Amino acid sequence: MKNKSRVLGATLAAGVLLVAAACGNGSSGGGGGGGPADEVVVAYSQTVDSLDPHQFKSDAGYGVVGNIYGTLLQEKYDASKDGILDYSGQSAPYLAESATWNAAKTVLTFVLKDGLKFGNGDPVTSEDVVWSLQRALSDVGYVQAIGQWLNITDAKTQIVATDDRTVELRVTHYSPLIEQLLAFQIFAILDKSAVEAAAGADDPWGAKFLATDATPTGPYVVESQIAGKSVTLKKNPDFTAADIGDAPARVVVQSMPDAQQAFLALQNGAVDLVYGITPDIAQAVQKDDKLHLYDLKYSTIAYVGFNNNDPALKDVKVRQALSYLMPYDALRSDVMNGFAGAAYGAVPYPMQDSLDETGDKVAYPTDVAKAEQLLAEAGHENLSLTLSVPASDTTLSEDAVFIQSALKKGGVNVKINKMSDADYNANLGKMQMYLDTWYSWGQDSVYQMFFLLTTGTFTNYTNFSNAEVDDLVKRAMATTDTAERHELSQQAQQIIIDQAPWAFLYTQDYLVGARKGVEGITHSNDANLRFEQLRVTK
């Protein structure tokens, strides 16, 4: 009798689970039915690690923050072409109703739109704007380093509210970058009183609070979060700065750490969009009739950095020789599967003011004989070098193998050192040769050269130092004349190419896989999606 009861119980439990499993077949991705047209699921390879606009974070984090916070200005896009919205090169007022320079171009005045509200219903005031920009320029996060490009030396006195809706930015001098930068999420407008209420003496800028909580001013608000999995956004009912009537009602930002599984989820409709896919997956997307690949051209440069303090690599002839040995064509075609462009110097096409106007030029085309001649002249015929690479980046790891093989042809032995991200980052500036990529939001040539190649800058990981380049970049930063800035930039670019502090390998395209029917992919200057621009058809 006892045994019979047990069997009956077990059968009943199994029956309930079977019925439940059958019931759970409804809107799962397994069936491949896709979701409702007003919901978009966007997959990123990482989790959303912070919601603070001023802290460094994962791509998924930037994806969310860029859509829950509004900025004074926003990027203006051309009309959709093949599902892509290209950045027009201009900024337009967003939370601001107007942005006006004075005649001397030293004061930029913003007037806020009437009736703006935070997600909690409180009004957005000029005091919030001033506090938000001051927080961005404070030492609370990394934005301070970028903030200097606003040409503000003292945030307390140069960012001023003149009335409830008006804010003045009193800059030392005009720069075309100022308006571009103010459209980025790093200059998001936050709720001063809400953050200050959560801040403490040891955390005056409320970093702990803003890491997990938002004070939204953008088109979306956070509806729910599942730690380590997803953040669900819904339309901000209080958002009045722009018309978002046609925007998706909900956007789920989903973490999919494994690239293959993300592709399979895209195939069966469990996700609509996979942001930042690898070249191999991009090829698979192209072959699937139900999917669409968005191939976005960017100036993200992949390069081999030569430590200019190294006894062998400080000789320009050695650096040039190594540049001549690089297998540029193979890297673009075999590693990047063609989703890459040529990189002519440290300011590659399509970056503003690039010496290369078409994206076809290569500074040091592969030439083994020339490389051997230069190595002989430098007295380094049997060179042995170490090339460090972050192991988490599969594309760079593949690059390293191709480079090792190519350099061998010129008599250079390369040892590949695969490092954890933490180890790699801690050793930037100390490694003999390293593989890296870099993308400068704004795609500005002067900005890029300043951060990567001027003497003493903390992101100049090759320790390259050239007085002429330093001077040209400094003058380009100081001038208000756009034509002069262009000329100075190009002079500096040419010196950098001649000095070969890096081997300029290629530019990486940004690859987005989507199911057919998903359009409105923003080819934005900060390489982030504007969710309100997405349009989904079943």
Residues 426-485 that bind another protein (CB under 8 A): 426, 451, 458-459
DSSP 8-state secondary structure symbol assigned to residue 201: T
Q: Does residue 38 belong to the site contacting another protein (CB under 8 A)? A: no
- In degrees rounded to 5, what are phi and psi of residue 435? -105, 135
Q: Which stretch binds another protein (CB under 8 A): 118-126, 260-268, 304-312, 502-510?
A: 260-268
- Amino acid of residue 362: V
Residue of 39, 122, 213, 367 interacting with another protein (CB under 8 A): 39
Question: What order do you get walking across the sheet with 96-101 strand by strand?
Answer: 96-101, 107-112, 166-170, 159-163
Q: Which is nearer to another protein, 57 or 292 (CB)?
A: 57
- For residue 321, give Cα distances in angstroms to 162, 224, 365, 373, 412: 59, 55, 11, 8, 10
Minimal distance, residue 204 CB to another protein, in Å: 13
345 conformational bin, left if phi > 0, alpha if psi -120 to 50, beta if neither = left
**Could you tell me the two tokens for 73?**
């200005």
Specify the DSSP element, H or E, that contains 496.
helix 482-499
Site for another protein, residues 121 to 150, rule: CB under 8 A: 139, 141-146
Q: Which of 7, 10, 14, 16: binder of another protein (CB under 8 A)?
A: 16
Whichever of 265 and 342 has its CB closer to another protein, that residue is 265
Residue 268 binding another protein, by CB under 8 A: yes
Strand-pair category, 384-390 with 433-438: parallel
Residue 427: both structure tokens together: 């050793």
Question: For another protein, which stretch binds (CB under 8 A), given 45-53, 116-124, 300-308, 403-411?
Answer: 45-53
Which one of 3, 5, 25, 157 is in contact with another protein (CB under 8 A)? 25
Site string for another protein, 186-215 (x = CB under 8 A): ---------------------xx--xx---
- DSSP-assigned letters across all residues of 405-429: HHHHHTT-EEEEEEE-HHHHHHTTT
DSSP-assigned beta bridge partners for residue 506: 302
Q: Which span (52-60, 323-331, 342-350, 468-476) binds another protein, by CB under 8 A?
A: 52-60
The answer to whether residue 7 forms part of the interface with another protein (CB under 8 A) is no
17 binds another protein (CB under 8 A): yes
The residue range among 47-55, 239-247, 295-303, 356-364 that interacts with another protein, by the rule CB under 8 A, is 47-55
Selected range binding another protein among 4-12, 124-132, 257-265, 401-409, rule: CB under 8 A? 257-265
Burial of 378 (0-12, 13-18, 19+ CB in 10 A): middle
> Distance between CA atoms of 188 and 94, rounded to whole angstroms?
11
Q: What is the end-to-end Cα distance of the chain in Å, rounded?
A: 55
Given candidates 42, 129, 214, 252, which one binds another protein under the rule CB under 8 A? 252
Q: Are strands 291-306 and 502-515 parallel, antiparallel or unpaired?
A: antiparallel
- If the CB atoms of residues 231 and 325 are measured against another protein, the closer one turns out to be 231
CA 93 to centroid of chain Cα atoms: 22
- How many angstroms separate the CA atoms of 192 and 167, rounded? 15
Determine, following the binding rule CB under 8 A, whether residue 226 of this chain makes contact with another protein.
yes
- To another protein, the closest distance from the beta carbon of 300 in angstroms equals 13
Under DSSP, the state recorded for 399 is: H
Contact flag: residue 56 with another protein (CB under 8 A): yes
Binds another protein (CB under 8 A): choice among 116, 251, 265, 414 = 265
Q: Rounded to whole angstroms, how far apart are CA atoms 536 and 389?
A: 39
> Mapping DSSP to helix (H, G, I), strand (E, B) and coil, where does residue 62 land?
helix
CB of 32 to another protein, least distance (A): 7
For the bound state, the minimum distance from the C-beta of residue 526 to another protein, rounded and expressed in Å, comes to 14
Number of amino acids touching another protein (CB under 8 A): 72
- Write each residue from 148 to 187 as x if it is in contact with another protein (CB under 8 A), else as -, in one continuous string: ----------------------------------------
Q: Which of 42, 47, 130, 217 binds another protein (CB under 8 A)?
A: 47
Three-state SS at 24? coil
Query: Which region, judged by CB under 8 A, interacts with another protein, from 28-36, 76-84, 289-297, 311-319?
Result: 28-36
User: Which region among 112-120, 154-162, 221-229, 328-336 touches another protein (by CB under 8 A)?
Assistant: 221-229
90 binds another protein (CB under 8 A): no
- Minimum CB distance to another protein smaller for 321 or for 346: 346
Q: At what angle do helices 394-409 and 316-325 cross, to 10 degrees?
A: 110
The pairing of beta strand 39-44 with beta strand 273-275: parallel
